[in-house]
Amino acid sequence: MADLTLNNPHVRQDLLLSRLEGGEQLVATQLAEEFDISIDTIRRDLLALEDRGLARRVRGGALPVRSAAIPFAQRKNEPQIEHDRLIRASLPLIHAGMSIILGGGTTQTHLAAKLEPLENLFVITPAPAIASIMLEKGIATHLVGGRMSPWGGCAVGADAEAALSNLAADLAFPAICGLDPDFGLSMDHADEASMTRCLIRAASETVLVCAAEKIGQRARHRILPIPGITKIVTDADERLMQPFKDAGAEIIHA
């Protein structure tokens, strides 16, 4: 028998919101069984939360709403202790003699900080912060210029895209806002998304260094569908990564 308090939609929705804020994905059929109510009632609750901007409905349930992007200048000095193992797992992919592209963002900046000055390594980047790190390490670098985006701390616009179209690399490490098994790789801002598409096209392979918190998230602009992704370095569990593996991506668990 259902708990009488769960007959109140406000009580149910507060409970669902609490779970979303904890990062939980909501599955409508499971909730209907747990709350002993109809699946149509659960769907109405999820719709109400989405209308309030508190949930994002997907087939079969709902996902947490992504937090608004914070400018790079405010994020660059934040500790990335939880991402250190992602970076350590990514470094063995980079070999002497390679040309690599590092996109903007904090993860790529921390990756640059850990990068060793391998023989004949060549780094291409639209991010001045990364270029500065490479300069200090004595690593040959090509800085792509253009209008600066405050969000990723990188060059965007026609000049940056034209420059990337004339370059070639072995590996690309793009920034990531969301990685969803249906929607693919995505970013919040259109100009960064457009530049990142060019960045990916310039490389033979794409490596996504992606924390578990970004799996299942969709930003506004799709950059790359899942079949186009060759490697994902992540701390997410195997269950979350299975759809990407099924699509042909190599999963490297950190």
Are 107 and 30 in a shared domain? Answer: no
| Tokens describing residue 201 | 């096209």
Domain boundary among 45, 63, 81: 63
Are 50 and 161 in a shared domain? Answer: no
Among 30, 85, 104, which Cα is nearest to 61's?
Answer: 30
Provide the CA 154 distance to its chain's centre, in angstroms: 16
Tens of pLDDT along the chain (254 residues) come to 345 578 888 889 889 988 876 667 788 899 989 888 999 999 999 988 887 767 778 778 887 766 556 666 666 666 565 678 999 999 999 999 999 999 998 899 999 999 999 999 999 999 999 999 999 999 999 999 999 998 889 999 999 999 999 999 999 999 999 998 888 999 988 899 999 999 999 999 999 999 988 888 888 889 999 888 889 999 998 988 999 999 999 999 98
Rounded distance between C-alpha atoms, residue 248 and residue 33, angstroms: 35
Are 140 and 55 in a shared domain? Answer: no
What one-character DSSP code corresponds to residue 185?
A: E
Are 106 and 150 in a shared domain? Answer: yes
Task: Assign residue 119 a region (left: φ > 0; alpha: ψ between -120 and 50; beta: otherwise).
Answer: beta
Are 38 and 136 in a shared domain? Answer: no
Rounded distance between C-alpha atoms, residue 185 and residue 175, angstroms: 10
CATH code for the domain in which residue 14 is found = 1.10.10.10
CATH code for the domain in which residue 84 is found = 3.40.50.1360
Number of domains in the chain: 2
What one-character DSSP code corresponds to residue 231?
A: E
Rounded distance between C-alpha atoms, residue 239 and residue 57, angstroms: 21
Domain boundary among 63, 87, 108: 63
Rounded distance between C-alpha atoms, residue 52 and residue 177, angstroms: 22
Are 34 and 127 in a shared domain? Answer: no
Beta strands in the chain, from DSSP E residues, in sequence order: 26-27, 56-58, 61-63, 99-102, 122-125, 140-143, 147-149, 154-156, 169-173, 178-180, 184-187, 203-210, 221-224, 231-234, 250-253
Are 52 and 140 in a shared domain? Answer: no
Are 127 and 177 in a shared domain? Answer: yes
Are 19 and 46 in a shared domain? Answer: yes
Dihedral sign for Cα atoms in the order 141, 153, 108, 248 = negative
Are 133 and 228 in a shared domain? Answer: yes
Q: In which domain, by residue range, is 56 found? A: 4-63
Are 100 and 143 in a shared domain? Answer: yes
Domain boundary among 63, 83, 113: 63
Are 148 and 199 in a shared domain? Answer: yes
Give residue 2's pLDDT: 45
